[in-house]
Chains A and B, each alone.
Chain A
């Protein structure tokens, strides 16, 4: 892909070209380290409470594979498209960054729509935050992830809009890079949610 003429002065790996950019990237990795502990604590809580249904619906009765599989497929695809955006960033191609991020955002919205549908459905089945310890743990863990997805969508849209005016610079490049990093992180968290919450919740009855 040819380098856009307006970006001719932009250095390679523009996200790391300034000390501010380097600081942001390091700081963000550290932040993700903290987020790992955050989700780790939520997972531990969920695992401890997932069989405590208190007479309410169990995970085996609730979970529906096609819906969750579709959500997983959508989110993992969006992870790939966010990588494409980073690749476009390294080619200094703002147009392709915008294209890939738009696809990422649309997939993210699709995922979120499925999750909201899923939650509404569960509430109708009598599975609420106040039903049981399982209900509290489920909505907190999965909801925390959903909240992260929603924040990511808003953040990426904001970056996209402001980049229309600002272009791709050594100031905006780290922001795109970090948004992509963040998006990856919440996808990785989802892989664990899919495994621990849904797959483990669908097999067998009581475990351990």
Chain B
């Protein structure tokens, strides 16, 4: 209870210990970014090996078995361990600032979400050293993923994703509550910046989509480890159940990924066009509608499963419907730029590059939504090209736009523009070089997930170009890393480097741990811009200056996740002593958290003013 701790001193923690125990959303954002970034490099390296293997026909760079592990781990790592955490990094860094909050609703849970994701990802990746990575594809379809056909790697997939998925789920709940309950006075729902709206809808999707994969993974775990028969046709099991559960999660997951990118693009395009976002209300409506329809279309991944003509027709139609709100968004971005004073710093280059690239991916999506045509495209490189256009050309471009845009706010340093432009152009050209030919490879009949191809089938040139493109993306990624290092010694960022429109630009870069010395009063959409246009220097405060209550740092989230990490190995190796030890650690931490109340601490009024002057 806060009253008990009125004058408790702020706990002083430094170095590693500070990062292991932090519950500050801004630091958790950086943790997500670092961990997600490392997994992104791992997934990228796997992609590089895949493309090297496919550079020439009948090549033996990695061989068939390792190739299967690489494609499985590339997909799984990129989706669950790379782009999701970077999305969470930006959500953590930006959403509380955009709604004028001092922190998220559940700072402790926020830290727990990060550590669960981290240890889940770590568990999954230790499979490389413990008998081989999972090799049943990132979709892990049964019966291929059962014991008869797949090695221990799939156990790592099951348990690693289960732990990481829990972290994502509680992260989603946290952001829903934060956005519903923690908005500053005057910040009504229809005044929220688009990125916050997108994060809100994405969090809702996480909440309702992730439990389906949780159940799917539990069933697969029972089949693999405890003699269950869910997917064993010999004992009455049904493999289609896995497909349904996986895609009931998996399709909303696609929108979980892309909606935050839509939000980022909306912010960036509007800021660098010096215009209010065109059609804000329709943007909100389109975001919510995409979120809703996202749950109605999962079976379009299963057109060739044999669900029947009626089911295929309905799911095909529902899928095409999503093109309507998505089209609304694309036209809104174009009309935001129309007549604006457009400038092209790197952030806006990514955003403007996003729009046509994503539109191509969306268009092939509508092609795939036609069931009879899908019978031809299914499991071909056309599909690979489609989803890389939306996930890399769309989402990763959006994430880069967001990183260049919010980097000054997160780290207090400007990223170098010159390196940034090189980063953009090498990655952008490399991306199109890699994936554009894959459309045609697919149409010419090259199946996905096949480790090599034969000479003289017209597949050589396309595959060769595709591999050359990967080098472009690799150089782009390396340039980004160079940029990060260079910028660390570079120019300090001011509070509002882009002449921004929203609340995060009203406070210093990086923000103090309490974010807002005084909670701001929001008077409309683009709250900061309204004040600027009214000739005000900053926001009107909604409260007097006073002591600020902060939550205490805690080591428990780390320990809780370690417990599950340990128990995961116990399950895999049927060592129940280890399971019990791991679970005892986790439940012991939950017990401690429940019994011992967190009094928090207070930042004193004088200290706030002092820091405010310094910044």
Contacts and interface: CB of A to CB of B under 8 A. Distances in A.
Interface of A: 19, 22-23, 26-27, 30-31, 33-35, 37-38, 41-42, 44-45, 48-49, 52-54, 129-137, 140, 155, 158-159, 162, 166, 169-171, 175
Contact of A38 (B173, B176, B211, B241): B211
Contacts of A31: 173
A45 B215 contact: yes
B433 to A, nearest CB: 41
Contacts of B238: 48-49, 52, 133
A192 to B, nearest CB: 15
A159 B238 CA distance: 42
Contacts of B317: none
B245 interface: yes
A31 B232 CA distance: 32
Nearest to B203: A30
Nearest to A135: B229
B373 interface: no
10 contacts: A26-B181, A27-B177, A30-B207, A37-B209, A41-B212, A130-B226, A130-B227, A134-B236, A158-B591, A166-B597
A109 to B, nearest CB: 19
A30 B176 contact: yes
Contacts of B490: none
Contacts of B591: 158
B207 A133 contact: no
B241 A45 contact: yes
Q: With a 10 A CB-CB cut-off, give which of A30, A35, A135, A140 has the most chain B CB atoms.
A: A30
Interface in B220-242: 222-223, 226-230, 232, 235-238, 241
A51 to B, nearest CB: 8
A129 B211 contact: no
A175 B594 CA distance: 9
A41 B597 contact: no
Contact of B208 (A33, A42, A45): A33
Interface in B66-103: none
Contact of B210 (A26, A34, A53): A34
A170 B105 CA distance: 17
B434 interface: no
A171 B597 CA distance: 8
Interface of B: 1, 105-106, 109, 169, 173-174, 176-177, 180-182, 207-212, 214-216, 218-219, 222-223, 226-230, 232, 235-238, 241, 244-245, 248, 591, 594-595, 597
A140 B232 contact: no
Nearest to A161: B595
A52 B244 CA distance: 18
Contact of A27 (B174, B595, B597): B174
B299 to A, nearest CB: 14
Q: Nearest 9 pairs between A and B by C-beta? A: A52-B236, A130-B227, A133-B236, A38-B211, A41-B215, A136-B228, A37-B211, A23-B105, A133-B237
Given A35-B211, A136-B222, A140-B222, A30 B230 contact: no
A159 B597 CA distance: 12
Contacts of B229: 52, 54, 130-133, 135-136
Contacts of A131: 229, 235
A23 B228 CA distance: 39
A31 B173 CA distance: 7
A134 B238 CA distance: 11
B232 A133 contact: yes
Contacts of A34: 169, 173, 207-208, 210-211
Contact of A45 (B109, B214, B219): B219
